[in-house]
Amino acid sequence: MVDMHANSPKTLRQDLLNQRKEFAAGQSYAQAKERLIAGLNQFLVKDGNSLRSIALYWPIQDELDLRSALIAWANQNPGCALALPYARPDKHLDFYEWQDGDALTPSQHGVPEPNPNNPSRPAITPDCILIPCVGWSSSIENDKTHYWRLGYGGGYFDRTLAALRNNNPQFICIGIGFDWQKLNDAQWVAQAHDEPLDMMLTESGLLR
């Protein structure tokens, strides 16, 4: 589905966003979404017991909406919390506890964000982050598969993931995307500053 020509990341990103918009309006979207959320629920049942907090994203630009599944997980697990990112001016992300119905404010990029000064919603260092991918790829190094995310180009997640990994060796980062968004080396190769994903979740299941 993705054009095979090697383009600049900016052009590639725009092509992928256009294709995601078409895909979200298409007939196969509902089934792909259902399968991907089923995969998320399987992960939450299997691994959710070891997690106290999960950072999700507020869906924009046809990103997959995972909120219902995660709200259900938090409701079924007392003491567990959800968090949303807040973009700092230095291009790092902080995370604050989020509950369904909270008032949010658009960031400079138009993404709804929590209020960092809300005393009833403390800052959280999440055990797990779910990150939407514009595109994604995989590479094999020393018999280990690595997954990589092509994002919007701001670098927020790469900086944040590096800091979170330094503080918590058990930290889990899961990319969220569809099979058709997978890129080959001719289209895009992760750069030295790109942080790998621990897992990649698509409609085909959870890739570890």
- Number of residues assigned to the chain: 208
Domain extent for 118: 31-187+197-207
Total structural domains within the chain: 1
Place of tokens 């960031």: 107
Helix residue spans in the chain (DSSP H): 9-25, 29-47, 67-76, 156-167
Q: What is the pLDDT of residue 155?
A: 87
Question: Residue 189: is its pLDDT beyond 90?
Answer: yes
Binning pLDDT at 50, 70 and 90, where does residue 55 land? very high
Mean pLDDT for the stretch of residues 51-65: 96
Angle between helices 29-47 and 67-76 (to 10 degrees): 20
The reply to whether 192 falls in a domain is no
The reply to whether 63 falls in a domain is yes
Q: Which two tokens stand for residue 70?
A: 């995660």
The reply to whether 52 falls in a domain is yes
**Other CB atoms closer than 10 Å to residue 89's CB: what's the count?**
6
The reply to whether 143 falls in a domain is yes
The reply to whether 71 falls in a domain is yes
Q: What is the pLDDT of residue 2?
A: 52
* pLDDT tens per residue, range 70-115: 999 999 999 999 999 999 999 899 999 999 999 999 998 889 999 9
The CATH number of whichever domain residue 51 belongs to comes to: 3.40.50.10420
Q: What is the pLDDT of residue 7?
A: 62
* pLDDT tens per residue, range 8-54: 888 999 999 999 999 999 999 999 999 999 999 999 999 988 999 99
The reply to whether 58 falls in a domain is yes
**What's the predicted TM-score (pTM) here?**
0.93
DSSP run (H or E) holding 94 = strand 93-98
Q: What is the pLDDT of residue 201?
A: 98
Query: Is 63 labelled a binding residue?
Result: yes
Mean pLDDT for the stretch of residues 169-196: 94
Contact criterion met (CB below 8 Å) for 207 and 182: no
The reply to whether 20 falls in a domain is no
The reply to whether 160 falls in a domain is yes
Q: What is the pLDDT of residue 4?
A: 47
